[in-house]
């Protein structure tokens, strides 16, 4: 099942109560990954082409796929190219 999420209210209204914990865990990984990668991408691109980018834009909507796979994917668009970063979310037993 896929859920289009734009707000915290969407999480409450759309995601079944027993799935919110997994949803939030995956969104946490997604946000940390996006934050870390954005700085790296900005620095790398500006090293190759100084001053070419100054920031990044986070999408207005996130699609959370409730598939119990625990895979989080970020797509970073740089010009005409897309960098796809996938991360396997750790389970409670791995923490």
- pLDDT tens for residues 16-73? 999 999 999 999 988 888 888 878 877 887 788 887 776 667 778 888 999 988 888 8
Six token digits for residue 72: 């989080």
Rounded distance between C-alpha atoms, residue 79 and residue 81, angstroms: 6
Question: Which residues are 84's β-sheet partners?
Answer: 75
Torsional class of 68: left (φ above 0), alpha (ψ -120 to 50), beta (otherwise): left
Rounded distance between C-alpha atoms, residue 36 and residue 30, angstroms: 10
Query: What pLDDT, on a 0 to 100 scale, did the predictor assign at position 62?
Result: 86
Would the CA dihedral through 5, 69, 25, 40 be positive or negative?
negative
């Amino acid at each position: 099942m896929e859920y289009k999420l734009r707000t915290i209210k969407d999480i409450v209204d759309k995601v079944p109560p027993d799935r919110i914990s997994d949803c939030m865990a995956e969104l946490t990984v997604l946000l940390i990954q996006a934050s870390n990668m954005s700085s790296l991408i900005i620095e790398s691109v500006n090293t190759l082409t100084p001053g070419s980018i100054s920031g990044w834009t986070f999408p207005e909507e996130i699609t959370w796929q409730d598939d119990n796979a625990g895979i989080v994917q970020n797509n970073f668009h740089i010009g005409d190219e897309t960098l796809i970063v996938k991360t396997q979310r750790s389970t409670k037993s791995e923490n």
